[in-house]
Structure 1
């Protein structure tokens, strides 16, 4: 019988009524496979995955297909967001076998968990140069039964290749280079040059279709420009952000970004909305605004956080994972319009709206209209004999009216689980948005989410759970959970200047060092040493949809080394970065978070310490502008033991700002303008 009905994952629950006898990823499934000597099918997806839904409907709901699967395989369903560790191993197997991968991911295993075959979507009948699903099942069943030795050999080869992937970053000519070469401005310069070769100068971003935002690379370019004045880097970031905000990837009515577009011009999104994408884009928008305070960025930040508060925030203060691409069985149906609908709803305001948002009777996607900023409002207003202020009011009213109409439609499915790493990314985004716009509700939302994680996703012994839903937290935290959580705690310190956040960041860092570090190469495993239910421990180095946990830990160690005087952590960050440098230079779009860590080593770090009654207020004021490689500390009394930057600096009659760089301090100043001059 199907074993998924007691799970909390929305993706697993979507399959709880399938005739397939699905198991969750638990020992009982492997025990049965060993007992009955059957191969295992692990089918991996996530709730917002369009083709996962298609394959479920075509194959997993089909009685004949399910009967064959139940008779000859032990079938396991995995939510890749709940178990990214499982997904990583079998996605690598798929990529080794096929040269690519995606979801749904269907991997066939020996009873001990070693993979021997992997693929993605298979149709119910041969099509698109793909065999039918039943053909795949039949061939693999007979291979396992009749050619078992060959199957085992294939599994052994796959496991060797997967395991060797963990070694690739040790084998680099960079180990022959000196620190003076590795940790110099030459490396960021080469990274920037490599990214420039991939600039899409027509539509922004990097490369062609499908088009992903590339937020980690945009963030690096903003930091790099600060030090070098590289106008091409700065201009491309702002050009890219404007193009995305004006495109179909951005929800022009409700705020928030879709995951990617299938075209190069940001017009046609894959309509799922992921928490992590919005968190990462919010952070880079806030950084861009702190560099160039453009009203468009402020509006987009406000609209996107309003979307998060309205649709992605739980009553407990945490954040949900995703909104599906589909509603009523159709991708994008919730978001698209016909011109007739818009004309009916807006009446005389429709011509203005349709011109600005590119609406036509024929539509721009499958006979429907995806809204995008096709023309500037001022230009359309002038053509229609309307002043800009009136046009702005009419357009805002029209957007509000259509949003109300859209809210009456059947909504896309909500994946209402909480994932710790994604929650941490959004906590950081709220902090960054607070620095940019000064909106107190953003700081309060971040603080409430921190309290939620502490109450619901932290064990009594101070460890982290990966996922939480319906009162149940489960699965040991992974490296990304700890790395992003430490980063969020450090960001919370910058909006509150409560030392407890640094103390917690230190404690979690010590836990990561004890439970995730591979001392043979100074890099971190994705899974804890205490986790035993996967066939091997992997290391994730690349930025994927979310930043590399190793790169984030390098940044955390760099900051904490300054904040609490742990020089050995600075040395560890350098040791992590050194073997990565050749890969970062060769494939810069895949290593944006690492590139920021390289920037930290290549250019001077600065410490800004403010002591006195006005310390917190002045620190918040200074942080309205973005200063990379800069650590801020503020305290009303000063001279606090355990914090080298505060020690020996007692409060004076007036609040003083100390700015130091490369272990050299300027004379303290007492006003913001003088401090900015040093920065």
Structure 2
């Protein structure tokens, strides 16, 4: 026996290919070996950018004593949670149920049939060695107790929790905003205390709630939080892009990994804030984050990598933090002192070893000096050890990036962002769509074996629908419709909402179904949003009904715990406010001005179609001719349409009506 991860496609698994532990990938072969040897399975779940996963790897999985115990008494299985979110979801539910909390690395002991009987997260080497010995002893000497425990846990996991559908009407959405206000940190922005995560979907909901109701408090929560995040250490003040979360309540010290899903969603939030308020800070953050995605996460094939690591050369944050002396060494005494003041780099430091994260409480008044200083510091920073990149391409997160970049290209007048969204969509559809079904991920252009899950279908469809609206190209609408048809056929739960995995997916101890929005939209809310947009663009009542049913399935959770229902609530705002359909016919300067006026609307229910009258494959353009030979805009709310207009002034009045 030997370590069998060398042939894996996951960068996280490849990080462990040289461990003395005899790791293998999840699969029937591992469980067959466990049955043959009559030993438990040690399941270790993590991801490439996870700091504490690296710590446990160095302490335990690279250690000869730990490896000897694991190899002797267990079958060791490594799983990348980003590649197999279904496995992660099932065993994280068990971990949370048994310990009261979850996280990564996740450490689970399973029977050879995959049933969990002990779960935890990070263990230091002494505790882990003791745990291995204790579990081995229990498996050998107290097998009936172990099997009885695993049976009860598996029974719990397999129980379908009946959730009564709850419509998210205006009162429920207003109540969600009120609950969020009660937990809002008015001093620092965000919700709750440390650690503090960027609440991207909650912010999107609050923006939409303000757009529908005019609520000053909803907008104030967004503005306070986005400003604090963008000004603090969470944001990379030199290269753009947000870290995963802050370890403190005031956004000063981040956990330094940068995730594609965070940055794609935050880019969209800042973009919509800029559209609503004209904020120059929001516009700058959008451009810098979009540039970060393309420069630092863009793959050679045209898609986007999953993450940048928190560590470099074995030290967390070492790429990003500075001392005052280091600033002086790069910039000279005068500019170094000026930069230290601008970035709040202190003598005592805000991070470890006297170093500071970079904050920017205010944009420097001298734009030329700031541009030069930033460039010089970036050049110097490039000489430092750089964080590793997890360069696998995840379908779902690339869907989020497509949506954000397509909208940014349109709203900011930046065709290169739209082009990047188009290139990404082409790559994902070409490589990840196999036999009409999505795969979860690829790497170096080679698609993996793991099947796509519900949020892959929902978030990619969302991205394709945004790209269709940005470009007027009909095939993106058709591709989104195909994905949604598969989701309706294969993922729908008759009790409401969507399972995370298809009806023909690999059977686990339970079929996961998560209704909570966490770091990214849940499968049900992702599909609800895409179904709603598709219905508005096509007039399909079947897709609108499916969207409404999905929202109701997640409605009770979202209304009661809005911090874990941000995207559900955001989609519900669009459902309540819309559809507001704008069809712009023509292809001249006047048509482009009309389209820009349409996109300026912050209505949560807005959809936009552009192109020639009766353009094939674009239902909103059917039977909508030019007006007197001139380009025109048609505004409809549901099935009630206004008279066409030919000027931006008339269109703005129609949209405000």
Same fold (TM > 0.5)? yes
Partner of 1:610, secondary structure, is: strand
CA–CA separation in structure 2 for the residues paired with 1:602 and 1:299: 31
Residues 1:494 and 2:469 are matched in the alignment: yes
Residues 1:357 and 2:357 are matched in the alignment: no
CA–CA separation in structure 2 for the residues paired with 1:647 and 1:344: 64
Question: Is the 2:394–2:442 Cα contact (8 Å) retained in structure 1?
Answer: yes
Distance 1:183 1:532, change over 3 A: closer
Could you say which residue in structure 1 is the equivalent of 2:498? Answer: 524
Residues 1:554 and 2:555 are matched in the alignment: no
Partner of 1:523, secondary structure, is: coil
Quote the offset at 1:588 in angstroms.
0.5
Q: 1:376 aligns with which of 362, 371, 380?
A: 362
Residues 1:660 and 2:636 are matched in the alignment: yes
RMSD (Å), alpha carbons? 1.6
What does 1:426-445 align with in structure 2 at a 5 Å threshold?
A: 426-445=401-420
Could you say which residue in structure 1 is the equivalent of 2:560? Answer: 586
Could you say which residue in structure 1 is the equivalent of 2:447? Answer: 473
Quote the offset at 1:56 in angstroms.
0.9
Residues 1:630 and 2:606 are matched in the alignment: yes
Could you say which residue in structure 1 is the equivalent of 2:295? Answer: 310
Could you say which residue in structure 2 is the equivalent of 1:406? Answer: 381
Question: Is the 2:438–2:452 Cα contact (8 Å) retained in structure 1?
Answer: yes
Quote the offset at 1:643 in angstroms.
5.4
Quote the offset at 1:577 in angstroms.
2.1
Residues 1:11 and 2:12 are matched in the alignment: yes
Could you say which residue in structure 1 is the equivalent of 2:538? Answer: 564
Could you say which residue in structure 2 is the equivalent of 1:603? Answer: 577
Residues 1:678 and 2:644 are matched in the alignment: no
Question: Is the 2:306–2:397 Cα contact (8 Å) retained in structure 1?
Answer: yes
TM-superposition CA deviations, 1:53-96 (whole Å, max 9, x none): 11111111111111111111000011111111111111111000
Partner of 1:70, secondary structure, is: helix
Could you say which residue in structure 2 is the equivalent of 1:156? Answer: 151
What does 1:111-510 align with in structure 2 at a 5 Å threshold?
A: 111-125=112-126, 132-164=127-159, 166-167=160-161, 170-172=162-164, 182-347=167-332, 348-373=334-359, 375-376=361-362, 388=365, 391-459=366-434, 461-474=435-448, 475-510=450-485
CA–CA separation in structure 2 for the residues paired with 1:151 and 1:591: 36
Quote the offset at 1:371 in angstroms.
3.5
TM-superposition CA deviations, 1:360-402 (whole Å, max 9, x none): 2221112333344354356xxxxxxxxx4xx332222112111
Question: Is the 2:497–2:554 Cα contact (8 Å) retained in structure 1?
Answer: no
Question: Is the 2:201–2:566 Cα contact (8 Å) retained in structure 1?
Answer: yes
Question: Is the 2:481–2:534 Cα contact (8 Å) retained in structure 1?
Answer: yes
Distance 1:471 1:669, change over 3 A: closer
TM-superposition CA deviations, 1:270-321 (whole Å, max 9, x none): 0001111110110101111111122212211121222222211111101111
Quote the offset at 1:604 in angstroms.
4.2
Quote the offset at 1:647 in angstroms.
2.9
Quote the offset at 1:139 in angstroms.
0.9
CA–CA separation in structure 2 for the residues paired with 1:604 and 1:341: 53
What 5-or-longer segments of structure 2 have no aligned partner? Answer: none
Question: Is the 1:313–1:320 Cα contact (8 Å) retained in structure 2?
Answer: yes
Q: Paired residues, what number? A: 649
CA–CA separation in structure 1 for the residues paired with 2:492 and 2:187: 43
Could you say which residue in structure 2 is the equivalent of 1:38? Answer: 39
Partner of 1:518, secondary structure, is: coil
CA–CA separation in structure 2 for the residues paired with 1:157 and 1:464: 34
Distance 1:301 1:643, change over 3 A: closer
CA–CA separation in structure 1 for the residues paired with 2:536 and 2:294: 34
CA–CA separation in structure 1 for the residues paired with 2:429 and 2:349: 48
CA–CA separation in structure 2 for the residues paired with 1:256 and 1:368: 24
Question: Is the 1:5–1:16 Cα contact (8 Å) retained in structure 2?
Answer: yes
Question: Is the 2:253–2:357 Cα contact (8 Å) retained in structure 1?
Answer: no
CA–CA separation in structure 2 for the residues paired with 1:229 and 1:317: 40
TM-superposition CA deviations, 1:235-286 (whole Å, max 9, x none): 2201211110110000111111000000000000000011111101101011
Distance 1:612 1:470, change over 3 A: closer
Could you say which residue in structure 1 is the equivalent of 2:54? Answer: 53
Question: Is the 1:612–1:638 Cα contact (8 Å) retained in structure 2?
Answer: no
TM-superposition CA deviations, 1:177-196 (whole Å, max 9, x none): xxxxx353111111111111
Quote the offset at 1:162 in angstroms.
1.8
What 5-or-longer segments of structure 1 have no aligned partner? Answer: 126-131, 176-181, 379-387
Question: Is the 1:565–1:643 Cα contact (8 Å) retained in structure 2?
Answer: no
Question: Is the 2:229–2:251 Cα contact (8 Å) retained in structure 1?
Answer: yes
Structure 1 residue runs of 4+, over 6 Å off? none
Distance 1:311 1:620, change over 3 A: same
Quote the offset at 1:472 in angstroms.
1.9
CA–CA separation in structure 2 for the residues paired with 1:33 and 1:401: 56
Partner of 1:52, secondary structure, is: helix
Q: 2:620 aligns with which of 608, 621, 645?
A: 645
